[in-house]
């Protein structure tokens, strides 16, 4: 069935370091792909999304490219800040089943 | 400009009791969802609703009941709570199909003793 696999955490980086969080998916078809972020004590909020192959989603310096050939949607940021400390979730949705599938989340801590 | 709210934010109950978690959204979004978040599992869909009076099961529906008599409300009921239902519950909504961005509430932390 459809599923999302993302890299295990936690991840600890120094401020201004480069970030990559890997996400791969399994889907019978062409899902939309999402990255959500959860700050401590809050609900999830959309970070970026891509709806078709080769699309690049970007927001707040984060980027991810929908790679159909490798079934991946890796999240990257060139220079992380302390305020980026959060849990990041990769997700997919697939028409027409109206279901969302989330990865297990990757906790990121950025230290000054 | 309340968006999507959940109540209560924290709840402690005992095994066997009935518990209802409330979710309310002010956007008139068609779709609403209930998820549970557990360590090592991420978020798992419990139930969703495409419109008032239309609900469907998600990945982990057993032990839960939902209703949607009004577009803006989507309560989740645990008919007889079990310890395995200790979790953080998130409600979400989206404007049209499930492929659209989902907007999440702040969550309800439930402890079943």
**Mind listing the pLDDT tens digit for each residue in A78-100?**
999 999 999 999 998 876 556 78
Among candidate residues B108, B44, B54, B52, the one with its CA nearest the CA of residue B76? B108
- Number of other CB atoms surrounding residue A44 within 10 Å: 27
With 90 as the cut, is the pLDDT of residue B90 above it?
yes
User: Cβ of A44 and B42 within 8 Å?
Assistant: no
With 60 as the cut, is the pLDDT of residue A67 above it?
yes
- Average of per-residue pLDDT values in chain B: 92
pLDDT for A109 equals 96
For the segment B56-77, the average pLDDT, to the nearest whole number, is 95
Whether B4 contacts B25, CB under 8 Å: yes
Give the torsion sign (CA, B57, B60, B66, B68): negative
Q: Please, which pLDDT band fits residue B98 given cuts at 50, 70 and 90?
A: low
pLDDT tens across A11-64, in order? 999 999 999 999 999 988 788 999 999 998 888 999 999 988 999 999 999 999
The CA distance from B90 to the nearest CA of chain A, in Å, is 7
Among candidate residues A90, A43, A42, the one with its CA nearest the CA of residue A62? A90
B8 interfacial to chain A (CB closer than 8 Å)? no
Whether B55 contacts B31, CB under 8 Å: no
With 80 as the cut, is the pLDDT of residue B50 above it?
yes
Nearest to B43 among A89, A95, A97 (CB): A89
Provide DSSP, A47-94. Answer: EEEE-STT-EEEETTEEEE-BTTTTB--EEESS--GGG-EEEEEEEEE
B42 interfacial to chain A (CB closer than 8 Å)? yes
For the segment B59-64, the average pLDDT, to the nearest whole number, is 94
The CA distance from B97 to the nearest CA of chain A, in Å, is 7
Eight-class DSSP state of B55 = E
The C-alpha atoms of residue A45 and residue B105 are separated, in whole angstroms, by 9
């Amino acid at each position: 069935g459809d599923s999302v696999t993302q890299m295990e955490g936690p991840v600890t980086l120094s401020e201004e370091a480069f970030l990559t969080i890997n996400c791969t998916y399994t889907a019978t078809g062409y899902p939309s792909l999402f990255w959500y972020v959860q700050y401590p004590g809050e609900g999830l909020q959309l970070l970026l999304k891509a709806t078709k192959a080769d699309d690049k989603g970007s927001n707040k310096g984060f980027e991810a490219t929908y790679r159909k050939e490798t079934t991946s949607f890796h999240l990257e940021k060139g220079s992380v800040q302390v305020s980026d400390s959060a849990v990041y979730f990769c997700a997919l949705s697939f028409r027409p089943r109206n279901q969302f599938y989330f990865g297990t989340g990757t906790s990121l801590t950025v230290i000054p | 400009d309340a968006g999507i709210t959940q109540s209560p934010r924290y709840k402690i109950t005992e095994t066997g009791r009935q518990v209802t978690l409330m979710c309310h959204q002010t956007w008139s979004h068609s779709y609403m969802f209930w998820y549970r978040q557990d360590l090592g599992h991420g978020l798992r869909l419990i139930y969703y609703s495409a419109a008032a009076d239309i609900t469907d099961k998600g990945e982990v529906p057993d032990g839960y009941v939902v209703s949607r008599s009004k577009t803006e409300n989507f309560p989740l009921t645990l008919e007889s709570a079990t310890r395995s239902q200790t979790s953080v519950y998130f409600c979400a909504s989206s404007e049209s199909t499930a492929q659209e961005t989902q907007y999440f509430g702040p969550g309800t932390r439930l402890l079943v003793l």
